[in-house]
Amino acid sequence: MADVIASLRTSAPLVHCLTNVVVSQFTANVLLAAGAAPAMVHSVEEAGALARMAGGVLVNLGTVTSVTAPAMRVAVTEAAGAGRPWVLDPVAVGPLPWRTELAHELLESAPPAAVRGNASEILALDGGTGGRGVDSTDAPEAALAAAGSLARRYGCAVAVSGPQDVLTDGTRVVRLANGHPLLALVTGTGCSLGALVAACTAVTGDALLAATAATGLLTVAAENAATRSAGPGTFAVALIDALYELSPERLAEALDLR
Amino acid sequence: MADVIASLRTSAPLVHCLTNVVVSQFTANVLLAAGAAPAMVHSVEEAGALARMAGGVLVNLGTVTSVTAPAMRVAVTEAAGAGRPWVLDPVAVGPLPWRTELAHELLESAPPAAVRGNASEILALDGGTGGRGVDSTDAPEAALAAAGSLARRYGCAVAVSGPQDVLTDGTRVVRLANGHPLLALVTGTGCSLGALVAACTAVTGDALLAATAATGLLTVAAENAATRSAGPGTFAVALIDALYELSPERLAEALDLR
Amino acid sequence: MADVIASLRTSAPLVHCLTNVVVSQFTANVLLAAGAAPAMVHSVEEAGALARMAGGVLVNLGTVTSVTAPAMRVAVTEAAGAGRPWVLDPVAVGPLPWRTELAHELLESAPPAAVRGNASEILALDGGTGGRGVDSTDAPEAALAAAGSLARRYGCAVAVSGPQDVLTDGTRVVRLANGHPLLALVTGTGCSLGALVAACTAVTGDALLAATAATGLLTVAAENAATRSAGPGTFAVALIDALYELSPERLAEALDLR
């Protein structure tokens, strides 16, 4: 995992994010602080061209509309055609049928390198009923079977985010107990993790390793940031600094793998 | 008012925000710090379904386009059909005829629980000529008659934001003198107040009380944040921390009702 | 240059920004801290009306789509018709043909007061091949000939941003060596500079002076902010404070003109 983060900083992969408007700025700053190069292009006319150029592509469904859905479709198709990994963040899949159908359509069009979501989203993506908007009403461990099922179906890694993160490729299972409760009080921390996963898939072919390294980076940085924070405002700022400062060696030491 | 804020934190209502892209991140972080659960969905395919699930709905016209206007229409209709309160923030209504017409159409389609704007916007919404873009060129007190007229027409609360906030339900009038000049130098503070009003309408049926509690929460937090700020950058961050820290009791003590 | 910044603060020009969703919040806060009044309207129904009211108009192509491109066209046409200066920020022009064509179409429809971009974007706009997404793969000095060619073709100023900024109106050349490496690690610093250029064109008819004053303001503020920053998170916040604090006199003293 330390090697993945070291490679991220050395190679500064271009990460094309088709993400939601709420978290775009925070996501870009997280990627920059971690060493990657974010690019965000939403037009159907251009999303495919940028996907072919990118090291990794993120598709986050948060504020998808009829304008951006076609851009997501072409980005996924072109990424796959060019051998670029893509990552799905199925925000609010479950209670909202339109995006749930879109998520399945994208997954069927080209298998992703990884899927990152909360437990409710992963359960819903595997056929469950889902949570309340962007909130998870289930614990990550409860989504392990669903995560494994998705991972085997698409040959991808699945990261279930929560107080304890659970990640699997359908065979191996990793649990990470790093993190801090303030992460849940800052918008875009989960979405930024999806972007970091996409960044890490650009530097390693092992998608489970990529998702685990990204999760470890964000959650250990969160622990460091919390020591300098008075609340969610200062925490969000300190988190960017902490991502920038965290060395691969310190990350490796701080990981709480279960 | 202290009880409203206490309820907000206990029940963490889902607040569906159809808001502008400039302030989405800040609005979500304000809602999270205050204890609510933000969700932002902009597609016409989904905005109605989420409005039915939400505790309150915000419609903010800041960056409305032909793509998001239909989503706003369906969100308002579905919210009303499901008995969910909705709040209008008529950003820049007046000088821009297209959104002015949309604002009136939304108000006529289903009465809102509350309207929050600056004085120029409230005057324009009641038939005046309006200000310059998002800036108010009028003092809140000058909009009191217009606010009362709107409140009686739609059976709603109207909050006129400014150096001294003026709120009315067409019968009662409340004036709040809390706040800080730095609020005007951070984008999204007014828009976030609209979102907080929507959050508070989810926990009390008295819309004037909801709007007053939301205004008090933001403006007292601003006073606390200003004591730790070197300028508008640090103020915006400290405001999120201050919202998170402010107890209902401290809020009640600090209110400067006129 | 000190006079331009003093005028900016006195007159608080309305700056209409058709900019990308990643940087909208940061751009608005930069403009507010610098003394301008940002407004962002993206609809084709309204963008022209606001452009006529504005002191200056920014068109930034970062996340342009088929919905916002028509709004940009009408904003440019109406701004020109009303004698308002407009500024082009050709984000990622070069590798993405659709926006490259749009940039040329806008430039041909009405000459801008200024163009601000990185070296790769300016080279591409003048007919070169361009960089990788939003990153420049060329040094500003390498784009001086292209900048001069564009400046003479459209009768505008061209600002090439980078470690050392190079600006020209096709006759005069200015080099500014202020700034800090952390600027490259915060999303929206370049885009916000484009907005500051638009703000300054609202207060002086000399577009090269406007672009130089805006560049000096942002880069000197960055130097001041860096002295209080632990990383890119705290730097972005401190930059807003520093813009707010920087007096025209201090700016003049700190400028490193080459």
C175 inside domain? yes
B-chain CB neighbours of C36 within 8 Å are none
- Sequence-distant (6+) residues with CB within 8 A of A74 are A44, A47, A48, A51
Average pLDDT, chain C: 96
Segment 56-95 of chain C within 8 Å of chain A by CB: 62-67, 92, 95
Binding-site residue numbers of A for ATP are 116, 161
Q: Do C43 and B64 touch (CB under 8 A)?
A: yes
Q: Which DSSP string corresponds to A126-173?
A: TTS---BTTB--S-GGGGHHHHHHHHHHHT-EEEEESSSEEEESSS-E
The model's pTM: 0.97
Give the number of beta-carbon pairs within 8 Å between A and B.
104
In sequence order, the β-bridge partners of residue C197 are: none
Write out the DSSP string of C189-244: HHHHHHHHHHHHHTT-S-HHHHHHHHHHHHHHHHHHHHTT-SSHHHHHHHHHHHHH
CB contact under 8 A, A133 and B37: yes
CB contact under 8 A, B230 and C240: no
Residue B180 has pLDDT above 70, yes or no: yes
Predicted local distance difference test score (pLDDT) of residue A129: 59
A194: domain range? 2-254
What integer pLDDT is reported at residue A134 of this predicted model? Answer: 53
Distance CA C240, CA B26 (A): 15
> Is the Cα torsion angle C36, C38, C44, C45 positive or negative in sign?
negative
Residues shown for chain C: 258
Residues of C in contact with B133 (CB under 8 A): 14, 16, 37, 39, 50, 53-54
Task: Check the CA dihedral B145-B150-B151-B156 and report its sign.
Answer: negative
The answer to whether residue B32 neighbours chain A at the CB level (below 8 Å) is yes
Non-local (6+) Cβ contacts of C255 within 8 A are C1, C176, C178, C216, C220
Does C127 belong to an annotated binding site?
Answer: no
Q: Report pLDDT for A128.
A: 74
Q: On the CB side of A17, how many CA atoms lie within 13 Å of its CA?
A: 38
* Predicted pLDDT of residue B129: 59
Q: Is C232 on the interface with A (CB under 8 A)?
A: yes
B229 is in an annotated binding site: no
Rounded to whole angstroms, the Cα distance separating A195 from A175 reads 20
In a domain, C139, yes or no: yes
- pLDDT value at position A82? 98
Which residues in chain A are closer than 8 Å to B16, comparing Cβ atoms?
133
Q: Could you read off the pLDDT of B190-249 as tens digits, one per residue?
A: 999 999 999 999 999 999 999 999 999 999 999 999 999 999 999 999 999 999 999 999
Whether A257 has its CB under 8 Å from any CB of chain C: the answer is no
Sign of CA dihedral B216, B219, B222, B223: negative
- Provide the number of structural domains found in chain A: 1
DSSP, collapsed to helix, strand or coil, labels residue C83 as coil
Question: Tens of pLDDT along C51-94?
Answer: 999 999 999 999 999 999 999 999 999 999 999 999 999 999 99
Kindly report the CATH number assigned to the domain that includes residue C215. Answer: 3.40.1190.20
Q: Are A230 and B221 in contact (CB under 8 A)?
A: no
Q: Which residue has the tokens 């990529």?
A: A210
Q: Is B23 on the interface with C (CB under 8 A)?
A: yes
The answer to whether the CB atoms of C240 and B232 lie below 8 A apart is yes
* B234 in contact with chain C, both atoms CB, cutoff 8 A: yes
B-chain residues within 8 Å CB-CB of A185? 32-33, 244
Q: Which of B66, B188, B233 sits opposite C238 (nearest CB)?
A: B233
Query: What integer pLDDT is reported at residue C139 of this predicted model?
Result: 86
Q: Which of A50, A68, A245 is nearest residue C231 as measured by Cβ atoms? A: A245
Q: What is the pLDDT of residue B139?
A: 86
pLDDT of residue B255: 97
Judged against a pLDDT cut of 60, whether residue B55 lies above it is answered with yes
Q: Which of B25, B33, B68 sits opposite A232 (nearest CB)?
A: B33
In contact, A129 and B87? CB cutoff 8 Å: no
Model pLDDT for residues B115-149, shown as the tens digit of each residue: 999 999 999 999 975 555 556 668 889 999 999 99
Mean pLDDT across the stretch C227-242? 98
ipTM: 0.96
Provide the 10 A C-beta neighbour count for residue B199: 33
Q: Do B186 and C32 touch (CB under 8 A)?
A: yes
Check CB contact under 8 Å for A231 and B33: yes
- Inter-chain CB proximity B237 and C241 less than 8 Å: no
In a domain, C258, yes or no: no
Range in A52-61, B122-131, C125-134, C175-184 the model is least confident about: C125-134
| A45, closest residue in chain C (CA to CA) | C98
User: How high is the pLDDT of residue A105?
Assistant: 98
**Mean pLDDT along residues C15-27:** 98
Q: Which are the contacts of B119, defined by CB distance < 8 A and separation ≥ 6?
A: B131, B136, B138, B139, B140, B142, B143, B160, B162
Q: Which parts of chain A register pLDDT below 70?
A: 129-137
Contacts 24+ apart (CB under 8 A), B203-207: B203/B4, B203/B7, B203/B8, B203/B11, B203/B13, B203/B55, B204/B4, B204/B7, B207/B85, B207/B113, B207/B114, B207/B156, B207/B157, B207/B169
Q: Which residues of A are annotated as a binding site?
A: 40, 116, 161, 188
Q: Among partner residues C32, C46, C244, which is closest to B96 by beta-carbon distance?
A: C46
pLDDT at residue B128, rounded to an integer: 74
CB C214 within 8 A of CB C199: yes
Cα–Cα distance list, A5 to A37, A112, A248, C93, C224 (Å) = 14, 21, 6, 30, 31
The larger pLDDT score, comparing residue C140 to residue C119, is at: C119
d(CA A147, CA B130): 54
Which chains border B (3 or more CB–CB pairs < 8 Å)?
A, C
- Taking an 8 Å cut-off on Cβ atoms, the answer to whether A234 and B236 are in contact is no
Instruction: Give residue-wise pLDDT tens across range A67-109.
Output: 999 999 999 999 999 999 999 999 999 999 999 999 999 999 9
Residue B128 is labelled as binding a ligand: no
Determine the distance in angstroms separating the CA of C123 from the nearest CA of chain B, rounded to an integer: 30
Contacts of A234 in chain B (CB under 8 A): 237-238, 241
Helix B232-245 to helix B207-226 angle, to the nearest 10 degrees?
A: 130
Q: Which residue of C has its CA nearest to B237?
A: C237
Q: What is the mean pLDDT of residues B157-172?
A: 97
Which tens digits make up the pLDDT trace of B240-253?
999 999 999 999 99
Closest CA in chain C for residue B24: C25
pLDDT higher than threshold 90 for residue C132: no
Check whether C188 is labelled as a binding-site residue: yes
